[in-house]
Structure 1
Amino acid sequence: MNDEIVQLYKEFDKNDLSFFFEKLIKFISKYDKVFRNYVFENSLNVVKKFKEYEFYMGTTDDNLEGLASFYAKEMVGASEKEICGNVIHMVWDIATFMTEELCPSCQDSYLKIVSSTDQKTIYKSCDNCLITIKNDEFIERPEEMIPATKKQVNIIMEK
């Protein structure tokens, strides 16, 4: 598992995020039993069905190339739990749509558009201070959230 994820990160190409994203999803599916030990079941079930064309890929201000390079080194001796968390976070970083709206709470990061796992509720959320907004109101952060799809992003951006 370690060697495989390290190799995957070493092959990262910022010009082909779609291919890399699909490889991450296949990795998650391949090690489904391991991921089930560390990732919420509803989130995992939805993430495993993700298709790259459903998302605006790479819209965050994260240095994905730098992250992949860093993770390639970090995952060499990582535990299964660390690998699972890391891969899920990388999927999040690639697929989550970042707005140009500054967080009203911390003023230090832009809000991201995310979804409930049943994909019925759309939120704006800050990765920095963890505030979550639903219908322009601050709410308690749901335990499970996933990146919003293009369709969901379009809905919330039209408001």
Structure 2
Amino acid sequence: MLDKEIILWDECIEIFKKVSNKRLNEFLDEMVLFITKHKMSFNEVADLNFLEFICSIDSNKFIIGTTGDNFEGLSKKYINTKQPTLREILKIISNTIWDLTTITTDEICPHCKSDNLRILTDFKKENIYKSCETCFWIECNGKAYVRPQDLFPADKDIISRLKENT
């Protein structure tokens, strides 16, 4: 392992040790700060659009933790993870950020009947998508779509726009 990976993972573990399901905004802020601080290291293994998205996150603009995940439990799993590579560190952090910031709706997927529909948007926040985490079905304006390349969790502004249109 590279020394850089060991240092990054040790810092990551410290963030996971402090997670509280009651203070998810603070947890998200710490992870965003971690990614922002080490952005240059992650540039070599990251999707740069998603990396930019992560660095731009303001936890106050998102509805945090609607997936029902137990982030305290997940953190224990990550704390016990053997030394991951740089790519794996980024994957752990970005998946956690994704789960914290994506809104899970009460709607049922019309394709597979799962209750894992999430609200996403494109990079420019022009379109609003409903996406199934189980079967990857996706729709925009009531029509099924092939999944666009870059989708991101919808923030509170996007959610209110969606509510206005329904």
Q: TM-score range by the shorter chain?
A: over 0.9
d(CA) in 1 for partners of 2:16, 2:78: 7
CA contact (8 A) 2:32 2:55 kept: yes
| Residue in 1 that maps onto 2:163 | 157
From 11, 17, 20, the counterpart of 2:18: 11
d(CA) in 2 for partners of 1:39, 1:143: 14
| Residue in 2 that maps onto 1:20 | 27
How much has 1:157 moved relative to structure 2? 2.9
Aligned residue runs from structure 1 range 110-149, under 5 A? 110-149=116-155
Any idea what SS the aligned residue of 1:146 has?
Answer: strand
How much has 1:37 moved relative to structure 2? 2.1
Give the TM-score taking structure 1 as reference length: 0.93
How much has 1:39 moved relative to structure 2? 2.2
Any idea what SS the aligned residue of 2:89 has?
Answer: helix
From 30, 36, 53, the counterpart of 1:29: 36
Code of the residue aligned with 2:40 in structure 1: it is K
CA contact (8 A) 1:58 1:94 kept: yes
Give the TM-score taking structure 2 as reference length: 0.89
CA contact (8 A) 1:40 1:144 kept: no
| Residue in 1 that maps onto 2:70 | 63
Aligned residue runs from structure 1 range 94-113, under 5 A? 94-113=100-119
How much has 1:152 moved relative to structure 2? 0.4
d(CA) in 2 for partners of 1:37, 1:157: 38
Calculate percent identity across the aligned residue pairs: 29
From 91, 96, 101, the counterpart of 2:97: 91
How much has 1:38 moved relative to structure 2? 2.4
- Which of structures 1 and 2 has the bigger CA Rg? 2
Q: How many residues align?
A: 158
Unmatched 5+ stretches in structure 1: none
d(CA) in 2 for partners of 1:62, 1:130: 19
Any idea what SS the aligned residue of 1:112 has?
Answer: strand
d(CA) in 1 for partners of 2:41, 2:138: 29
Unmatched 5+ stretches in structure 2: 1-7
How much has 1:21 moved relative to structure 2? 0.5
Q: CA RMSD in A?
A: 1.3
Q: Which runs of 4+ in 1 moved over 3 A?
A: none
Any idea what SS the aligned residue of 1:124 has?
Answer: strand
